[in-house]
């Protein structure tokens, strides 16, 4: 258990990547940052891209695959995604592993489950990943609740969920009308309130406090403090005690270990724990 940790290396339209480490090996969820940024982040933990057992790709949008083509040159590990996602990825021939919706895939010590989501991509999914008795579920880029994901969220030690926008900020913000309606649609992105009410419904039966990382925040239509407050409030209506932390958009976020005490939920971004990564 003490060798388990999770860290976001970027979360949002500028690039998404999250590392789940267990027992000296790791999986990467999305490769939206450059290989150099990934190498730098792994090296801080004494790891290299060769220590990855798998690269999981949620969908083919650039902010999730930007670094993949170059990154594949530095590791031989399989690329995991749904059939539709893999068909849209570069240079994965011979090393792609199809994750059927809701089916568990075993790679090394990892149990990997793709959870289909509604988003304007070919066949997008979130992932629930477990190893060494610890489960982390990552759901970003979805316009509405994913029916299959609820039980995985409830069973997770760390929940990473999109809180993309504040609905009122999006409505009154500078985006053109077609973009506003795409983001707010069922194939767009979850608002703070949608994320909070969903988590409240999933976790409301349990009074135990839960750590939630809020992911993929919009720079224009959200603020870390607004997201934390809205998700906490929306979830508390169902009796859930959430301890949300908003992930930094362009920087590595905090390192979570299962033995860490829960945050109070008052600090939107734990700045003292974030570190700068090169962006190119
Ligand atoms: Zn995205
Ligand atoms: Zn997307």
CATH of the domain at 23: 3.60.15.10
CA 4 to centroid of ligand 2, rounded, Å: 28
CA 142 to centroid of ligand 1, rounded, Å: 9
Q: What pLDDT band is residue 262 in, cutting at 50, 70 and 90?
A: confident
| Token pair in block for residue 246 | 């908003």
Q: What pLDDT band is residue 91 in, cutting at 50, 70 and 90?
A: low
Domains in the chain, number = 1
Tell me whether residue 262 is in a domain. no
Q: How far, in Å, CA of 250 to CA of 103, rounded? A: 32
Given a contact cutoff of 8 angstroms between Cβ atoms, the answer to whether 13 and 218 are in contact is yes
Given a contact cutoff of 8 angstroms between Cβ atoms, the answer to whether 255 and 270 are in contact is no
Site of tokens 């991509």: 121
Tell me whether residue 271 is in a domain. no
CA distances from 155 to 25, 56, 118, 169, 235 (A): 22, 20, 21, 32, 17
CA 72 to centroid of ligand 1, rounded, Å: 20
CA 171 to centroid of ligand 1, rounded, Å: 20
User: Of residues 267 and 156, which shows the higher confidence score?
Assistant: 156
Confirm whether pTM is higher than 0.85. yes
Is the pLDDT at 280 greater than 80? The verdict is no
60 is in which domain, residue-wise? 5-257
- The neighbourhood of ligand 2, an ion, using CB within 5 A, equals 61, 141
| Token pair in block for residue 233 | 């409030």
Tell me whether residue 273 is in a domain. no
Among 124, 123, 125, smallest CA distance to 114 is for: 125
Tell me whether residue 97 is in a domain. yes
CA 196 to centroid of ligand 1, rounded, Å: 19
Is the pLDDT at 204 greater than 90? The verdict is no
């Amino acid at each position: 258990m003490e060798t388990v940790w999770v860290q976001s290396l970027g979360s949002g339209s500028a690039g998404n990547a999250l590392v789940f480490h267990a027992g000296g090996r790791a999986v990467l969820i999305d490769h939206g940052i450059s290989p150099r940024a990934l190498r730098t982040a792994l090296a801080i933990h004494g790891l290299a891209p060769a220590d990855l057992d798998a690269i999981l790709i949620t969908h083919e949008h650039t902010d999730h695959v930007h670094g993949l083509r170059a990154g594949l040159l530095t590791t031989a590990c399989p690329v995991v995604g749904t059939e539709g996602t893999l068909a849209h990825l570069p240079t994965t021939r011979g090393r792609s592993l199809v994750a059927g919706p809701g089916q568990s895939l075993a790679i090394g010590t990892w149990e990997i489950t793709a959870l289909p989501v509604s988003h304007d991509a070919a066949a997008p999914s979130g992932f629930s990943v477990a190893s060494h008795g610890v489960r982390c579920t990552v759901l970003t880029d979805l316009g509405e609740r994913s029916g299959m994901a609820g039980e995985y969220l409830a069973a997770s030690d760390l929940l990473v969920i999109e809180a993309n926008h504040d609905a009122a900020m999006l409505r009154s913000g500078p985006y053109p009308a077609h973009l506003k309606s795409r983001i707010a649609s069922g194939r767009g992105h979850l608002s703070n309130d949608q994320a909070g009410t969903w988590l409240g419904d999933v976790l409301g039966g349990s009074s135990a406090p839960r750590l939630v990382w809020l992911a993929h925040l919009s720079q224009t239509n959200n603020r870390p403090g607004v997201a934390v407050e809205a998700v906490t409030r929306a979830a508390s209506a169902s009796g859930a005690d959430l301890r949300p932390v908003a992930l930094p958009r362009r920087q590595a976020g905090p390192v979570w270990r299962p033995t860490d005490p829960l945050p109070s939920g008052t600090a939107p971004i734990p700045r003292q724990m974030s570190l700068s990564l090169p962006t190119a």
